Structure 1
Amino acid sequence: MHYRRLGSSGLQLSALSFGAWLTFGNQVPRSEGRNLVAAAWDHGINFFDNAESYANGNAESVMGDVIADLRLPRDGFCVSSKVFFGAAEDPRPTQRGLSKKHVHDACHAALKRLRVDALDLFYCHRPDPDTPVEETVWAMDALIRQGKVLYWGTSEWPAHLIREAHRVAKTHHLVAPQMEQPQYNLLHRERVELEYAPLYAELGLGTTTFSPLASGLLTGKYADASKDEPARLEREELGWLKRIVVGDESERRVERARRFAEAAKAIGHPPATLAIAWCLRNPHVSSVILGASRVEQLLQNLAALELVDTLDEVQWQQLEAAAA
């Protein structure tokens, strides 16, 4: 495993990390969740990502349970949570958002579910138009000063709001956000590579990116662009995700993913592994969050580490051109 600093901080995260989105507390039984966390740990992963909204909090409960069961040393791993959407099935106004109350309540609920004394990383899962950025910055600073959170950041925030949070923090001598968790893959590049580009040096921003496979599109597990997307997107309860992932027809994401899979086959490596390795080539990516429902799948994805320096520049350009 390789380790990278989280932006300008001193925290070193595994270049590949493991997340619970759409799997823990829902798709994956507890026994397999234990196997996945054990395999991740055995292969050097030290960052486990979660959120209050994943399986309505059950993902955090399962992850906290299996980490405790495996008796992983607390000083050897980092665990995260995210606040915004809430954990309730139909959240009331004070059970969601980024108000001081919900940020406080969500943190303490996550601590109980994950069975830890502090969250290593705590993200604002989306911007909250109903809460001033200043209120959220003060709330996060308070949790850090209480020792409940070590680093806080954002997820899918526009650059101007990240800058606003830093301005508030600097003005009032508060702790500023250290990291952002955006989607990043061959089909979604603009935010990480263009919008956030000035922030890496200007603010020392780190990124823990998610969906390196575009929720399965880049695995090549489909036959007909009109109807056969990957199995995950075919699940009835994930129709909302399918609409987001496939996107507008003008973006031609399914067609681009097919071309990428064909190029990967020509090079001689699995498209999923190559897609993850491609993300790792970006020096501004602190950690790429992997999702898996089987240990075999996780191990195949971990092989991406070996491919980063295996392919030559011409081959990487061929893959990028295929997905362009």
Structure 2
Amino acid sequence: MEKINISHTDLEVSRINFGGNVFGWTLDEKQSFEILDAFVEAGFNFIDTADTYSWWVNGVGGQSETIIGKWIKARGNRDQIVLATKVGSETKEHPKDISKKHILKSVDESLQRLQTDHIDLYYTHFDDDITPVEETLSAYDEIIKAGKVRYIAASNISPERLIESFKVSKENNLPKYVALQPHYNLLERDDYETKYANIVEEYSLSVMTYFSLASGFLTGKYRTEDDLNKSVRGNSVKQYLNAKGLRIINALDIISEKYNTTPATVSLAWLMAQPHIAAPIVSATSQSQLQTLFDAPKLNLDAEDLEILAIANK
């Protein structure tokens, strides 16, 4: 199984990052254990979650971390897993918050749910745009020195605040972000490529993309409005049922037929072919979906494939 080092760290991760948002939402505890077992048995080791997953179920969250924690304890495999979680998200209970007080409280709650003494990669999930960057980074400094967190990363932060964080880190000898988790996929490219790619290049960040399959649209199962009823995510992909979206699906069909694989596998392979993309975040709720994930790192798209996808994206 090919693995890659997250920049500026000794964390060696598989090239697929399993998205734990499904745990406690579309998968119950037993089903979650089965999916996690299959994921690690196939040689993968990178799991992503957040303190608020799945808040949309009960308005609070914590279900995903709790299930992962129970699984890790039951399997006794913490040393085999690279575990990422997040802080700062908004729920019905509280607004976005990356203050020192909130971080120090939240990290302990996550550790308790995850039943571990450390988090490998801790993300600023959302920026509250209020807390001084130095306050947030000093909180991370404290929990890193306490051994609760190994490295920090960023997700939904503006380019300006992200750049400021690197400046403050350098000037004050505070921890710096080693990775970025942006919204990026074959269909939605502009925001990342125009606003963040240069920052990623300058600071040599590893990138773990979210919505890697555009909420499932890039699997190819949504081709008409009638298809929107196929899953709980159907309404999320309605926006992609347009000329551009269908051009990309057609291009994925051509390439997946060439390699006897699926549009989802091709979409993930395309992401992994892009600069600095370490491990796309993607979920699965069945063994067949897992196989789609497992096949992606094995697929090397050629120049012709990439050109077909580039033309479809215009």
TM-score by length of 2: 0.90
Aligned residue in 1 for 2:80 = 76
* Mapped partners of 1:234, 1:190: distance in 2: 23
Return the offset for 1:255.
2.9
CA distance in 2, matches of 1:9, 1:200: 15
1:301 to 288, 293, 296: 293
Q: Who is 1:278 aligned against?
A: 270
The superposition leaves residues 170-204 of structure 1 with CA deviations (integer Å, 9 ceiling, x where unpaired) of 11111111111112210122344332232234222
Q: For this pair of structures, how many residues does the alignment match? A: 307
Quick one: distance in 2 between partners of 1:180 and 1:154?
Answer: 5
Question: 2-side partners of 1:256 and 1:84: how far apart?
Answer: 37
Aligned residue number for residue 100 of structure 2:
100
Q: Residues 246 and 253 of structure 1: is their aligned pair in 2 closer, same or farther, counting only changes over 3 Å? A: farther
Aligned partner (choices 256, 259, 271) of residue 250 of structure 2: 259
Deviations 1:49-83 (A, max 9, x none): 000111111011011111221221x2221111111
Distance, in Å, in 2 between the alignment partners of 1:173 and 1:84 is 23
- Counterpart of 1:264 in structure 2: which amino acid? I
Select 2:310's aligned residue among 305, 308, 320.
Answer: 320
Say if 2:207 is the partner of 1:203: no
The one of 89, 92, 99 aligned to 1:90 = 92
Alignment-derived partner of residue 5 in structure 1: 5
Structure 2 unmatched ranges of 5 or more: 55-60
| Contact 2:87–2:98 (8 Å) recurs in 1 | yes
Asked whether 1:47 is paired with 2:56, we answer no
CA-to-partner distance for each residue in 1:133-164, whole Å, 9 max, x for gaps? Answer: 22111111111111111011110222221111
Instruction: Specify the SS of the correspondent of 1:209.
Output: coil
* CA distances 1:220-250 after superposition (whole Å, capped 9, x unpaired): 10231x4533733556xxx5xx1xx54488x
Report the CA distance shift for 1:80/1:125 in structure 2 as closer, same or farther (over 3 A): same
Task: Tell me whether 297-306 or 226-235 shows the greater mean CA deviation.
Answer: 226-235
Deviation at 1:212, TM superposition (A): 1.7
Q: Give, as a single letter, the amino acid of the residue that structure 2 aligns with 1:126.
A: F
**What TM-score comes out, normalization by structure 1 length?**
0.87
SS in structure 2 of the partner of residue 169 of structure 1: helix
Are 2:38 and 1:63 aligned? no
The 3-state SS of whatever aligns with 1:48 is strand
Q: In structure 2, the residue corresponding to 1:277 is in which secondary structure?
A: helix
C-alpha RMSD of the superposition: 2.2
Instruction: State the shift of 1:262 in Å.
Output: 3.5
Q: 2 CA distance for matches of 1:57 and 1:166?
A: 30
| Partner SS for 2:156 | coil
Equivalent residues in 2 for 1:124-143 (5 A)?
A: 124-143=124-143
Provide closer, same or farther for how the CA distance between residues 153 and 139 of structure 1 changes in structure 2, counting only shifts above 3 A.
Answer: same
Q: Write the distance in 2 (CA, Å) between the matches of 1:320 and 1:77.
A: 35
Q: Residue in 2 aligned with 1:114? A: 114
Residue identity in the other structure for 1:281: A
Unaligned runs of 5+ in 1: none
1:295 to partner: Cα distance: 2.3
2:178 counterpart residue number:
178
- Cα contact 1:120–1:151 (8 A) shared by 2: yes
